[in-house]
A and B are shown apart, each in its own frame.
Chain A
């Protein structure tokens, strides 16, 4: 069994294929188990991770399997931090339309970032070392970790 301690970040490089989302999600499940995250919370973190990876593969790397997606699981005792980086041209998240606006409600795309922001405590976009987008997702563990709850009681 792999131990995924908070003090030791896990780094994963994936080719830009949608099937690889399942690999990263499986590793997230292991990380969440090790850190005592409830199943309910894991589901929503998983959804945010899936959206981040889908964006990196589709919009960042344009589904070019030669381009890679970086996934890092880390953080500290109080926070689960996930980084997702691509090798694309970068983008401006402010340019994404509000999916709740009436004129956008029936659009078939444009909800991924909204879901990430809904289900995570922090979502930040920066420019990665390779020029692509580096997305950081953070979730505080104080309310979603069974371990924290046990320690508090």
Chain B
């Protein structure tokens, strides 16, 4: 089984790549663990790359919101990049798309951290 979460560094930016389903009981928890591990390691700039996400449910969305709040409270910035249209739609209908910093591709997102 392929991993739901893979991480890599781009300078001082921790890039967290999500793959497949970010849904209740599996992908949602792995995503949270990946982001929390980055925060625990001291990351202040976190980019979540979602280009390979096929499905996200309300549990995955809730975990994403929780991670965003946790990151903000710890003085870190969490941004999203490369949302597939269906994933963008899920965040749009609940108006969360305006809460997150969302970028069309990783390059622009990395540059935005400054």
Contacts and interface: CB of A to CB of B under 8 A. Distances in A.
B62 to A, nearest CB: 4
A54 B55 CA distance: 14
Given A100-B94, A109-B62, A18 B55 contact: no
A58 B68 CA distance: 24
Contacts of A153: none
Contacts of B2: none
A36 interface: no
A115 B93 contact: yes
A54 B58 contact: yes
Contacts of B26: 18-19
B59 A54 contact: yes
B23 to A, nearest CB: 6
Contacts, number: 63
Interface in B1-57: 23-26, 55, 57
A118 B24 CA distance: 19
Interface in A60-115: 99-100, 105-112, 114-115
A21 B65 contact: no
Contacts of B74: none
B93 A58 contact: no
Interface stretch (A2-10, A44-52, A122-130, A139-147): A44-52
B66 A54 contact: no
Contacts of B99: 105-106
Contacts of B65: 106-108
Nearest to B62: A108
Q: How large is the interface on B (under 10, 10 to 19, 20 to 34, 35 or more residues)?
A: 20 to 34
B110 interface: no
B71 to A, nearest CB: 12
A11 to B, nearest CB: 23
Nearest to B59: A54
Nearest to B57: A50
B25 A18 contact: yes
Closest 9 CB pairs between A and B? A18-B25, A108-B62, A111-B58, A112-B58, A108-B66, A54-B24, A109-B62, A50-B57, A118-B93
Interface of B: 23-26, 55, 57-59, 61-63, 65-66, 68-69, 86, 90, 93-96, 99
Given A54-B23, A106-B65, A112-B58, 11 more contacts: A18-B26, A21-B23, A54-B24, A54-B59, A100-B95, A109-B59, A109-B62, A114-B58, A114-B93, A115-B90, A115-B93
